[in-house]
């Protein structure tokens, strides 16, 4: 049997593009859904039967009982958050131990990683990067320093010793930073230790072997990314980035797969742009229009609850993301948020320090002025549209403009938060 290719689904902006919903919608086409990076800093929202669900670590295919879900080696796991998600799934009548498996090589977020995150962020003063304070960065730091703990350590006879060594080292750092942890650490550690029972009730796997076997046997696999391309450690606006590789290439290191196995790359694009945290955001709106986008789009972080910065769609950034990911299909989300905008602007170029360009600047302190192309809004409710033909012509013109500029087809159009409010284009 010919080996299957692996399809990759990821965000092309600053996160919060609606990946959770799209993964949930396309999951019926796949046998396996696997997360390949990030951790509880992700917040993938799904809505069906009028109920909103948010996943942080667990793949968004978990609501389909017959599908296999895998947390890959590139993910960092907080046992406390994991337990909370599992409890919520069980309350829905699901049995996640049946179809969720965890890579032995995934790294663990320790209680002191959260404290280190808070300590490092407080040290930055007015140069804060906007960390979610979930311990993600310090965990990846330990991973690269080769001092981290992995899921496989949980079943090691030397786990207590390894844990003690890691915690002791972290406390030395916290003491050096003058960070007060004595009142918060005992309770945090107690919760963390208690939550290990839930994590250890799942099957730990050599995920790279399992993934290879799935593809070898002809099973279809979807790799699910977290955050967004513009937050990638290498190619985002450094240092205002996350601590992992959010781009398509990250799927292969985050799951242990051969790059020759790449199939489709589905890029999720919000019809406008949002960002949580600090860093460059060229099309950000500080006026009533920005506030309108935030209000109508309910733009508050699924993980942090923080209000998101809002702005117009940025094609300079989008073309950059399409290029480095090799995107084959665009899924356009949340266009329904702009149903009552008479004019919709799209950024097609930048003026960087006064010079016109269509390239993303590397320097994060560059003075960027967006150059806009105005388009006519559709001025009607599109949430009830079930087929592409039912969409207003002005919205189709908006989609066509994106396709002509990017040379990538918009294959999926989301017209509302529910899984049924999705249009597929042949």
3-state SS of the chain?
CCCCCEEEEEECCCCCCCHHHHHHHHHHHCCEEEECCECCCCCEEEEECCEEEEECCCCCCCCCCCCEEEECCCEEECHHHHHHHHHHHHHCCCCHHHCEEEECCCEECCHHHHHHHHHHHHHCHHHCCCCCCCCHHHHHHHHHHCCCCEHHHHHCCCHHHHHHHHHHHHHHHHHHHCCCCCCCHHHHHHHHHHHHHHHHCCEEECHHHHHHHHHHCCCCEEEECCCCHHHCCCCCCCCCCCCCCCCCHHHHHHHCCCHHHEEEEEEEEECCEEECCCCCCCCECCCHHHHHHHHHCCCECCCCCCECEEECEEHHHHHHHHHHHCCCEEEEECHHHHCCCCEEEEEEEEEECCEEECCCCCCCCCCEEEEEEEEECCCCCCCCCCCHHHCCHHHHHHHHHHHHHHCCEEEEEECCCECCCEEECC
What are residue 47's DSSP bridge partners?
52, 418
Query: Tokens at residue 40, please?
Result: 């509880």
| CA–CA distances in Å: residue 360 to residues 16, 227, 286 | 21, 19, 22
Query: Tokens at residue 249, please?
Result: 């290439």
Count of CB atoms situated within 10 Å of the CB of 190: 11
Count of CB atoms situated within 10 Å of the CB of 127: 10
What are the two backbone dihedrals, phi and then psi, of residue 121, each rounded to the nearest 5 degrees?
-70, -40
Catalytic residues: 16, 44
> What is the spatial distance between Cα 302 and Cα 281, in angstroms, rounded to a whole number?
20
């Amino acid at each position: 049997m010919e080996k299957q290719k692996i399809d990759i689904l990821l965000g092309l902006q600053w996160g919060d593009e609606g990946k959770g919903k799209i993964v949930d919608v396309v999951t019926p086409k796949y046998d396996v859904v696997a997360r390949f990076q990030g951790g509880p800093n992700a917040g993938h929202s799904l809505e069906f039967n009028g109920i909103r669900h948010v996943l942080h670590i667990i793949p968004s295919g978990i609501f389909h009982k017959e599908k296999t879900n895998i947390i890959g080696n590139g993910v960092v796991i907080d046992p406390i958050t994991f337990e909370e998600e599992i409890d919520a799934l069980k309350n829905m009548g699901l049995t996640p131990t049946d179809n969720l498996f965890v890579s032995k090589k995934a790294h663990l977020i320790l209680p002191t990683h959260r404290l280190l995150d808070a300590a490092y962020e407080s040290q930055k003063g007015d140069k804060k990067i906007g960390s979610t304070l979930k311990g993600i960065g310090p965990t990846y730091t330990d991973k690269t320093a080769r001092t981290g703990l992995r899921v496989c350590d949980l079943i090691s006879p030397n786990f207590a010793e390894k844990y003690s060594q890691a915690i002791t080292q972290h406390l030395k750092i916290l003491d050096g930073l003058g960070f007060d942890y004595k009142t918060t650490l005992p309770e945090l550690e107690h919760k963390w230790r208690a939550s290990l029972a839930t994590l250890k009730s799942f099957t730990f796997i050599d995920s790279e072997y399992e993934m290879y076997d799935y593809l070898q046997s002809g099973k279809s696999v979807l790799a699910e990314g977290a955050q967004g391309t513009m937050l990638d450690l290498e190619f985002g606006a450094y240092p205002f980035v996350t601590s992992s590789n959010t781009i398509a290439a990250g799927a292969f290191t985050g799951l242990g797969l051969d790059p020759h196995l790449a199939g489709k790359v589905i890029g999720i694009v919000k019809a406008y742009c949002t960002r949580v945290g600090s860093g460059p955001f060229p099309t950000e709106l500080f006026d009533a229009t920005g506030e309108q986008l935030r209000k109508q789009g309910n733009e508050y972080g699924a993980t942090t609850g923080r209000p998101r910065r809002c702005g117009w769609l940025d094609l300079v950034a989008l073309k950059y993301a399409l290029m480095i990911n090799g995107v084959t299909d665009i899924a356009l989300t949340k266009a329904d948020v702009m149903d009552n905008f008479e004019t919709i602007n799209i950024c097609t170029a930048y003026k960087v320090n006064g010079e016109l360009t269509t390239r993303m600047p590397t320097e994060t302190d560059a003075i960027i002025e967006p150059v806009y192309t105005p388009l006519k809004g559709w001025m009607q409710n599109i949430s009830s549209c079930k087929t592409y033909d039912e969409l207003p012509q002005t919205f189709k013109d908006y989609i066509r403009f994106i396709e002509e500029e990017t040379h990538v087809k918009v294959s999926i159009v989301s017209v509302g938060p529910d899984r049924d409010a999705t249009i597929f284009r042949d």
